[in-house]
Amino acid sequence: MGEPRFAGAASSDDNRPTTAPPSPPPPPRQLVSLVQPSQKKKHKTKVFRVFRSVFRSLPIITPVCKFPTLPMGIPDSHRTVSGARVTGTLFGYRKGRVSLSLQETPKCLPTLVVELAMQTNVLQKELSSGMVRIALECEKRPDKDKTKILDEPLWTMYCNGKKSGYGVKREATAEDLNVMELLKAVSMGAGVLPGNSDTEGPDGELAYMRAHFERVVGSKDSETLYMLSPEGNNGPELSIFFVRI
């Protein structure tokens, strides 16, 4: 008698390899309808506002320094007149590096995209503590060099005084633009978006946090972004310093 067969086993006379059904294609990306940022000229500020901006733009990045406890967030109604208001978005896959995108408004193309030296889940844990200070440092350039500080390609990054690696400026990718397009109607908030990454796969979720930031220019070697919180909202406090030393 022949050997017993398991149910569903292929017969000996059918040795053709079986192929898995093809996986469904990823969802199509939305067409990007973001517009170019305007070329508005900056208004001149009074002398005392300039000094205040310089003072506020000096970061404290000493590793042994402990930050004092301050009220959470800067209320939107108390932001200083000397700073320009921009839209900032922190986004990334949970196990991937988080990126920062700056836009004039949520409907504009990004003016800056920086890949930070921190995983998204680590930044989420830091924000849950209530206060985060990110400093991005690079070396000073010769006086004749007119490169703007936000045009620098590479920064050494510190988070709450601890060195975490290097932040890298890059051009906005198709995936970056797709995220900005999906969030075009969002002015402030946090959540997750369905993933569409080669590394995370279509089932991976992309976390984001969007807020208004006050952009304060201290000098050609110093700019600071202060996250603004809605009136009465005790959310996390986040400041990002761009500094040449």
Question: Average of pLDDT values for 202-218?
Answer: 89
pLDDT at residue number 28: 59
pLDDT over threshold 60, residue 2? no
Cα separation, 178 vs 29, whole angstroms: 7
Q: Please report which confidence band the pLDDT of residue 38 belongs to, taking 50, 70 and 90 as the band edges.
A: confident
pTM: 0.71
Q: Please report which confidence band the pLDDT of residue 195 belongs to, taking 50, 70 and 90 as the band edges.
A: confident
Give the residue with greater pLDDT, 220 vs 28: 220
| Cα→Cα distances 168→44, 66, 78, 200, 234, Å | 31, 27, 32, 21, 31
Least reliable range by pLDDT among 121-130, 134-143, 195-204: 195-204
Cα separation, 190 vs 91, whole angstroms: 9
pLDDT over threshold 80, residue 123? yes
pLDDT at residue number 46: 39
pLDDT at residue number 24: 54
Q: Residue 131 forms beta bridges with which residues? A: 237
208 close to 91: Cβ distance less than 8 angstroms = yes
Which residue matches tokens 């603004």?
228
> Percent of the chain scored above 70 by pLDDT?
64
Question: Average of pLDDT values for 207-231?
Answer: 93
Kindly provide the residue ranges of all beta strands, DSSP E only, lying in 23-176, ordered along the sequence: 74-75, 84-93, 97-103, 112-119, 131-138, 154-159, 162-169
Q: Please report which confidence band the pLDDT of residue 244 belongs to, taking 50, 70 and 90 as the band edges.
A: very high
Cα separation, 91 vs 101, whole angstroms: 8
Comparing CA positions, the residue from 28, 202, 176, 44 lying closest to residue 99 is: 176
Question: Average of pLDDT values for 36-45?
Answer: 59
> Percent of the chain scored above 90 by pLDDT?
53
Question: Average of pLDDT values for 214-239?
Answer: 87
pLDDT over threshold 70, residue 152? yes
